[in-house]
Structure 1
Amino acid sequence: MRSRTRLPLVVALVAASLTATAPTHAAAHATGGCDPIGGGVECLLPFPSDWHTRPDPGTDTGRRVAFDSRVLPRNALGSSPNPTAWNRADGFSPGSTLIAHVPGLDPVASGMAPVTDIGRSLDPDSPVVLLDATTGERWPHWAEIDSNDPRRRALLVHPARNFRDGHHYVVALRGLRDVAGNEIAPNAAFAEVAGPDLAPDDPLHARQRQLRPALDTLAAHGVAPGTLDLAWDFTVASTRGLTGDLTTIRDDALRGLGTRAPASTVTGVTDFTPEQDARIAREVTGRVTVPSYLTLPAGLPGSVLRRGSDGTPRRSLFGTVEAQFRCEVPRSAFTRPSWPALYGHGLLGSRSEVGAGNVKAMAAEHGFTFCATDWIGMAQDDIPVVLAALADIGLFPAIPERSQQGLLNAMFVGRALAHPQGFTAHRAFRTDDGRPLVDTTRPLVFDGNSQGGILGGALVAASPDIRTAVLGVTGMNYGLLLNRSSDFARFHQVLDLSYPDRLRQQVVLQLLQLLWDRGETNGYANHLGDRRVLMHIAFGDHQVANVAADVQARTVGARLVTPALAPGRGPDREPYWGIEPARLPHAGSAMVVWDSGTPAPPTTNTPPTEPDYGRDPHADPRSSADARRQKAAFLTTGLVIDVCGGAPCTAPPA
């Protein structure tokens, strides 16, 4: 996931602006509209909650997020974000981390299910109950204390697989204990709300009335209100609420395109001798013209989607954007036309990553022409916007909304690559005697690494052309990933300055995820079941947390290639709970774990870093010839084959 760009100067500038006039945390704290059962330490707790939604018969869920600017977290300058972008949602993220503050709570003494024993979360007496009120199903999860906040130690409850789009969930906490094993009493406000009916003029009457159906649902499933320490409910955004912006611009753009290839221009052709490059014979650069739906000319960083009065994305006043591309054509293509493949680059990088050694090796060894475009919204040019958004989350919509244009750009580049009147109509994609270098009778496939995998799942779910993809060293849900990524330390400096309270930071990360869902795999994972996806995971990855990949595998229904790890390499208990094993060869989605000998990652919400957790294995799977052979077989046949001789897969250090 790592970006190679330098950040210190921008971080220093943000720091200077925030510290110059920063008020105290207390002065920045908003009080109006706070949930009275949350304990009073942070306005939006517990989170997510239907206390912060309103009925709306015009949405697919019948509800709409209804944040007031007073309840959203203020930064160190006292700025509260405009809630408009959040209030378009008809529910919360399907990957929401549930956040609550229970003073003195000890999850071990309380018997909560840790990440190493997720199955325990479904025990009848589990102290945390997640109930799908739509179906009556208990939902698997793990619980932990925020290890980044030793002072207030928020409780974080993570779904072990994503919640279902549009469903209503009820959360119950019961039998909570402190480190000494003593029972913890519920806070006074919740005790009143969960108790006998309050008078209409009681300050807590409205909260009791709103929560009563959830308490009745719990009681109907054997969880008595009198046993509760805290309970609340929330609605997950609908499929249209999560994916509607992207599908709207996709459908409009492709409808205008019809059966034609997108317009493209070749701007550069470089031929290499075998001495210059034994693997790649030709590099081609150019641009593809794509309809723009962004507010700024050329879709510049900081753009958001242009919207009509009903909030639906509309075409930009500036017409089009140019998606810059770079393609690597292997030597074998001059003998036999190559397979068309899109490549997805890493964290805040660029299309130039398609020229990396491992990508060239994959192209040369297995006959792929890889083309890449920048993931605009999460590309190198967006770094200043990302930093500014961490300083003021009101600026954050520019990241996922520009990312959706970036996903559309990738679809158009892919269409141009795979269309017979697309790239192959240019002399740059033909031999001297006119034969095409790319076989456009073969289906377009995708291979991405790190951020290329995290965003790639959204691309694959939304693209009408891609049915088979490899997501390398992948995961999903930045709200889960960031605390666990060694990459985030550089960006965390800005977050610490702008939102210095660590409990507030957890709320901020989940608010960001609610918008991020529209531009990364987390919002689309429930709809990847009809695609074939191979997930390659680096065990102990320092940059993309293994737990995020596990949640993704459970959500998309990927099978686990076993044995996944050698004895003694994983946690004490079942490390891949809920992921069914695959019998090879396997036709369908799967997850393969590649072990380079790096220590197992921490079980807390902290990143594995050197030297305590050894060297970072993040680049190892893509650098393995065996892994590339497995990827190539999957992309061309849809089958996951055994390349590890029936043993756990290992990848030598890159």
Structure 2
Amino acid sequence: MNRTWLILVSGLLISACSESGTSGTAGSGGTGGAGGSAVAYPLLDCDPLVPEFCGYPFPSNVYTVEDSSTASGRRVSFGDELLRNNDSTPWDYSDGFSAGSPILTYLPRATDAVFGGVTDIDQSLSAASPTMILDAQTGDLIPHFAQVDTQALQLPGAKPEESSSMLRPVVRLRDNARYIVAFRNVTDPEGAAIAPSEAFAALRDGTASNDESVETRRELYEDIFEKIEAKGWSRDEIQIAWDFNTASDENNTRWLLHMRDTAFELIGEDGPEYTITSVEESTDDGAIDPTNIAFRIFGTFRVPLFMTSPEAGSLLLLDENEMPMINEETPWADIPFEALIPQSATAENPAATIEYGHGLFGEKEQIQSGHFRSFMNEYNYAFFGADLQGMSDPDEEAVTAALTAGKFSSVQTMWDRLHQGFLNHLVMLRMMKTSFARDPMFGQYIKADETYYHGISQGGIMGAVILATSADIDRGALGVMGQPYSFLLFRSVDFEPFRVVIRLFYPDYRTDQLLIGMAQMLWDRVEPNGYSHHIVENNLPGVNPKEVLMRDAIGDHQVLTFAGQIMARTMKAPHLTTGLRDVWGLDTVESTESGSFYTEYDFGLPGQPYCNVPMTMCSDPHGDLRKREAARKQLDEFLRNGTGTNYCAPGDADEQQVTALGVCSYPLLSGCEPDETDAQDLCIPDELP
């Protein structure tokens, strides 16, 4: 990520835009509500329920209008003041908000004194909970945790007056559904309950108001209060409440599925065209690894192009129906790939094949890593890799340039290009099973009927989209993964350089949170939150059910383990125990004979922060899990047989032996200093609200 900082310098002198907390004039948002009663909404730019900050509370139906052309019957319509200086185009296609959105509001001088936090999910379902997320149609309470924005309270640059109050659902919300949010009994540093805003008090107490948006919401709020009170809350204790609708499933998946179906129709049953451009054999001078790798193959395969150009920084081409269309001038793109065939593969004993998903802004060459090469030869797998366009090495520069232009909406190129990137991976999988499997030279060394997906870090995260949309594999393994991105980012060391740039132009901490919440709406089209609920069951059209291995490293500096648990809950996977801890909402099992499972490995770190800051203590275990011999055995067994086994045992072949049978802990790898004893030390605020 160091290159990022070189790119940043050119943008530092661009002036930051101003922040405003004024309210807009109410327009008509029409009626709607994907569950519960049909209610009317005003269309607002800024909501006087939170007069201190335009855009809160978020998400909210007051930022939508009726639209009969969408699957949900509504369309998002952000106003200019909420958008700051951003272009609305990326959000104009949305028919609701993300089912993995952070839920954001501002209560002046709020503390987390009454919040149970990420370790007390049960609080959110209890009668005494200070917060509520309610499914307006089913009446179900949604498990979640509440917190304040710790980053706004820490030096350097602490601004406690900008600390948001935030809710994070720990399960994926339903698509095209209406949710009601409420806070009560939240206190300031002196322990006093925070008073509601003037606008909300008028709605709650039935008092007169000169604000047009208050008067137009009287009927709406009677519906909201009725549903909240049905859960045992007293109306007079509520400090703020509102509702929002999640986007439809069609909103999230239609572009990529349309591209997939169009591409495969053009490609035909014989599979995609490919060209081998060069081959390195183990006998060649300078061969990468003669002991493990027989052939290193470089080539390209042809994919229909739906972008304005094949290069980083391009955008999706949409037709008059708002659907992706093929580039008329450049209808096909030649996508580079690399394949490694191990020495263990022979015509009599061909290798199973793995499509590998690389790490953050990485590249296809990551399949060359030494631990992969030895795994390929020991267990007889051939690896194929291609860049995930949109979040590959060339895209990092394009994304950073967009951010340094001071216009967050310019990051649209990343979300757009990820559609093409996923299509490329789907086509490469098809190539591995069809045209390349018939290659006159190398086809004899691979098994077309044993094709799997394996991704780590970004590849583990984004692999969920491939599993949900491909009909060419039955199993996949996702390493150090999680969802959604809006939960991961503020808790990842990888996001820090990008966050610094965002804050140059949007210096209010609340704007940081709002922008990432808005970004989640766009990410849902190209990340697990829009697809993971379709992997195991409720499969998308033309796709078979999958079995998935999910693994996380406790204390990971880059990918938060709690986010991995959300992905596992979304797939209703059991927790294959490693003798470390229970996981909320997951059934614990000792082993599995079939199906998906989630498991965790420990590397001796002192936990992980419960607040929204990255883990920075000790050594980062992010890259350690994949190298453990117990993990390698587990991966091979799962891919081959679909079974889940805990191979952790003292005295195994691993150079860092585990502490006890069935306890997957490697404390010798912690790298902790003597004073690094509690990750919660990272959550101590420098200033209070």
What letter is aligned with 2:181?
A: V
Kindly indicate whether the alpha-carbon contact (under 8 Å) linking 2:22 and 2:51 is maintained by their aligned counterparts in 1: no
Of the structure 1 ranges 90-99 and 212-221, higher mean CA displacement relative to structure 2 is found in 212-221
Asked if 1:441 corresponds to 2:456, the answer is: no
In the alignment, what sits opposite 1:365?
Answer: 378
Instruction: Quote how far apart the aligned CAs of 1:365 are.
Output: 1.7
Instruction: Quote how far apart the aligned CAs of 1:94 are.
Output: 1.1
Distance in 2 of aligned mates of 1:641 and 1:475? 21
Distance in 2 of aligned mates of 1:305 and 1:211? 40
Distance in 1 of aligned mates of 2:326 and 2:536? 30
Structure 1 residues 22 and 181: alpha-carbon distance in aligned structure 2, compared to 1, 3 A threshold: closer
Distance in 1 of aligned mates of 2:296 and 2:669? 28
What letter is aligned with 2:135?
A: D
In the alignment, what sits opposite 2:137?
Answer: 134
Could you say what secondary structure the match of 1:93 adopts?
A: coil
Distance in 1 of aligned mates of 2:505 and 2:369? 36
In the alignment, what sits opposite 1:243?
Answer: 253
Could you say what secondary structure the match of 1:650 adopts?
A: coil
Could you say what secondary structure the match of 1:233 adopts?
A: strand
What letter is aligned with 2:96?
A: G
- 1:281 aligned residue (294, 305, 321): 294
Could you say what secondary structure the match of 1:587 adopts?
A: coil
Instruction: Quote how far apart the aligned CAs of 1:144 are.
Output: 0.8
In the alignment, what sits opposite 2:282?
Answer: 272
What letter is aligned with 1:585?
A: T
Distance in 1 of aligned mates of 2:235 and 2:381? 60
In the alignment, what sits opposite 1:396?
Answer: 411
- 1:559 aligned residue (570, 574, 581): 574
Distance in 2 of aligned mates of 1:628 and 1:454? 19
Kindly indicate whether the alpha-carbon contact (under 8 Å) linking 1:292 and 1:321 is maintained by their aligned counterparts in 2: yes
Instruction: Quote how far apart the aligned CAs of 1:200 are.
Output: 9.8
Instruction: Quote how far apart the aligned CAs of 1:361 are.
Output: 2.2
Distance in 1 of aligned mates of 2:397 and 2:207? 52
Kindly indicate whether the alpha-carbon contact (under 8 Å) linking 1:582 and 1:590 is maintained by their aligned counterparts in 2: no
Structure 1 residues 305 and 30: alpha-carbon distance in aligned structure 2, compared to 1, 3 A threshold: farther
Structure 1 residues 23 and 526: alpha-carbon distance in aligned structure 2, compared to 1, 3 A threshold: closer
Of the structure 1 ranges 157-166 and 198-207, higher mean CA displacement relative to structure 2 is found in 198-207
Kindly indicate whether the alpha-carbon contact (under 8 Å) linking 1:587 and 1:640 is maintained by their aligned counterparts in 2: yes
Instruction: Quote how far apart the aligned CAs of 1:343 are.
Output: 0.2
Could you say what secondary structure the match of 1:508 adopts?
A: helix
Structure 1 residues 23 and 153: alpha-carbon distance in aligned structure 2, compared to 1, 3 A threshold: closer
Distance in 2 of aligned mates of 1:192 and 1:428? 77
Kindly indicate whether the alpha-carbon contact (under 8 Å) linking 1:35 and 1:46 is maintained by their aligned counterparts in 2: no
In the alignment, what sits opposite 2:273?
Answer: 263
User: Deviation string for 1:585-624 (max 9, x for gaps)?
Assistant: 3411111111111221111100011xxx110000111111
Instruction: Quote how far apart the aligned CAs of 1:396 are.
Output: 1.8
User: Deviation string for 1:268-324 (max 9, x for gaps)?
Assistant: 10011499431111111101100111122xx21111211111211111222011221
Instruction: Quote how far apart the aligned CAs of 1:449 are.
Output: 0.4
- 1:528 aligned residue (522, 535, 541): 535
Matches within 5 A, 1:404-415: 404-415=419-430
- 1:542 aligned residue (533, 539, 557): 557
- 1:63 aligned residue (74, 91, 94): 74
Kindly indicate whether the alpha-carbon contact (under 8 Å) linking 1:378 and 1:403 is maintained by their aligned counterparts in 2: yes
In the alignment, what sits opposite 1:433?
Answer: none
Could you say what secondary structure the match of 1:138 adopts?
A: coil
In the alignment, what sits opposite 1:374?
Answer: 387
What letter is aligned with 1:367?
A: N
What letter is aligned with 1:129?
A: M
Kindly indicate whether the alpha-carbon contact (under 8 Å) linking 1:36 and 1:189 is maintained by their aligned counterparts in 2: no
Could you say what secondary structure the match of 2:498 adopts?
A: helix
Kindly indicate whether the alpha-carbon contact (under 8 Å) linking 2:578 and 2:646 is maintained by their aligned counterparts in 1: no
TM-score by length of 1: 0.90
Distance in 2 of aligned mates of 1:385 and 1:491? 12
Instruction: Quote how far apart the aligned CAs of 1:242 are.
Output: 1.0
Asked if 1:323 corresponds to 2:320, the answer is: no
In the alignment, what sits opposite 2:54?
Answer: 43
Asked if 1:301 corresponds to 2:298, the answer is: no
Distance in 2 of aligned mates of 1:38 and 1:226? 16
| % same residue | 32
Instruction: Quote how far apart the aligned CAs of 1:24 are.
Output: 4.5
- 1:632 aligned residue (622, 629, 636): 636
TM-score by length of 2: 0.86
Instruction: Quote how far apart the aligned CAs of 1:399 are.
Output: 0.6
- 2:359 aligned residue (335, 346, 350): 346
Instruction: Quote how far apart the aligned CAs of 1:219 are.
Output: 3.0
In the alignment, what sits opposite 2:35?
Answer: none
Structure 1 residues 551 and 198: alpha-carbon distance in aligned structure 2, compared to 1, 3 A threshold: same
In the alignment, what sits opposite 1:517?
Answer: 524
Kindly indicate whether the alpha-carbon contact (under 8 Å) linking 2:300 and 2:337 is maintained by their aligned counterparts in 1: yes
Distance in 2 of aligned mates of 1:15 and 1:60? 42
Kindly indicate whether the alpha-carbon contact (under 8 Å) linking 1:564 and 1:593 is maintained by their aligned counterparts in 2: no
Structure 2: segments with no counterpart, 5+ residues: 26-43, 154-159, 538-545, 650-660, 671-689
Asked if 1:14 corresponds to 2:8, the answer is: no
User: Deviation string for 1:14-69 (max 9, x for gaps)?
Assistant: 213x2xx445445x988563443432222110000111111223222222211123
Instruction: Quote how far apart the aligned CAs of 1:461 are.
Output: 0.7
RMSD of aligned residue pairs (Cα, Å): 2.1
Kindly indicate whether the alpha-carbon contact (under 8 Å) linking 2:557 and 2:621 is maintained by their aligned counterparts in 1: yes
In the alignment, what sits opposite 2:103?
Answer: 98
Distance in 1 of aligned mates of 2:555 and 2:289? 36
Could you say what secondary structure the match of 2:340 adopts?
A: strand
What letter is aligned with 1:279?
A: N
Distance in 1 of aligned mates of 2:430 and 2:665? 35
Kindly indicate whether the alpha-carbon contact (under 8 Å) linking 1:401 and 1:518 is maintained by their aligned counterparts in 2: no
What letter is aligned with 1:323?
A: I
In the alignment, what sits opposite 1:291?
Answer: 304
What letter is aligned with 2:11?
A: V
Asked if 1:192 corresponds to 2:189, the answer is: no
What letter is aligned with 1:139?
A: I
Distance in 2 of aligned mates of 1:415 and 1:557? 28
Kindly indicate whether the alpha-carbon contact (under 8 Å) linking 1:266 and 1:426 is maintained by their aligned counterparts in 2: no
Distance in 2 of aligned mates of 1:209 and 1:606? 40
In the alignment, what sits opposite 2:485?
Answer: 478
Count of residue pairs the alignment pairs up: 618
Distance in 2 of aligned mates of 1:437 and 1:490? 43
Could you say what secondary structure the match of 1:130 adopts?
A: strand
Structure 1 residues 173 and 376: alpha-carbon distance in aligned structure 2, compared to 1, 3 A threshold: same
- 1:499 aligned residue (477, 495, 506): 506
Distance in 2 of aligned mates of 1:36 and 1:437? 63
Structure 1 residues 426 and 202: alpha-carbon distance in aligned structure 2, compared to 1, 3 A threshold: closer
Asked if 1:173 corresponds to 2:180, the answer is: no
Structure 1: segments with no counterpart, 5+ residues: 75-79, 431-435
Instruction: Quote how far apart the aligned CAs of 1:550 are.
Output: 1.4
- 1:121 aligned residue (113, 119, 124): 124
Instruction: Quote how far apart the aligned CAs of 1:199 are.
Output: 7.9
Kindly indicate whether the alpha-carbon contact (under 8 Å) linking 1:115 and 1:142 is maintained by their aligned counterparts in 2: yes
Instruction: Quote how far apart the aligned CAs of 1:416 are.
Output: 0.6
